[in-house]
Structure 1
Amino acid sequence: MRIIIDADAAPRKVLGICRQAAAQFSLPMITVANFNHRIDSQNHIVVGNAPQEVDMQIMKLALKGDIVVTQDWGLAAMVLGKGAAALSPSGRIFDSTTIDFLLEERELKAKYRRSGGRTKGPTKRTSDDDKNFKKSLYILLKDRSLN
Structure 2
Amino acid sequence: MNIYVDADACPVTDIVIKEAKLRHIPVVLVKSFSHFSPSDEQDGVKTIYVDTGAEAADYKIMQLCQGGDLVITQDYGLASLALPKGCTVIHHKGFAYTNENIDQLLQSRYLNAKARKSGQKTKGPKAFTQEDREKFQEKLKMLLNNHSS
TM-score (normalizing by structure 2): 0.92
Report the alpha carbon displacement of residue 122 of structure 1 after superposing the two structures with TM.
Answer: 1.6
SS at match of 2:34: coil
CA distance in 2, matches of 1:89, 1:67: 12
- Tell whether 2:100 aligns with 1:124: no
Of residues 108, 111, 114, the one that matches 2:117 is: 114
Equivalences for residues 27-106 of structure 1 within 5 A = 27-39=25-37, 40-41=40-41, 42-106=45-109
Q: Which amino acid aligns with 2:62?
A: M
CA distance in 1, matches of 2:101, 2:147: 20
CA distance in 1, matches of 2:146, 2:119: 44
- Tell whether 2:8 aligns with 1:5: no
Report the alpha carbon displacement of residue 53 of structure 1 after superposing the two structures with TM.
Answer: 0.5
Count of aligned positions: 144
- Unaligned 5+ residue runs, structure 1? none
Would you say the 8 A contact 1:32–1:54 is kept in 2?
A: yes
SS at match of 1:30: strand
Report the alpha carbon displacement of residue 98 of structure 1 after superposing the two structures with TM.
Answer: 0.6
CA distance in 1, matches of 2:74, 2:137: 15
CA distance in 1, matches of 2:84, 2:148: 20
Identity over aligned pairs, percent: 39
Would you say the 8 A contact 1:65–1:144 is kept in 2?
A: no
TM-score (normalizing by structure 1): 0.93
CA distance in 2, matches of 1:129, 1:114: 30
Following TM superposition, where does structure 1 have runs of at least 4 consecutive aligned residues deviating by more than 2 angstroms? 142-146
Would you say the 8 A contact 1:91–1:129 is kept in 2?
A: yes
CA distance in 2, matches of 1:30, 1:100: 27
Cα root mean square deviation, aligned: 1.2
- Unaligned 5+ residue runs, structure 2? none
Q: Which amino acid aligns with 2:19?
A: A
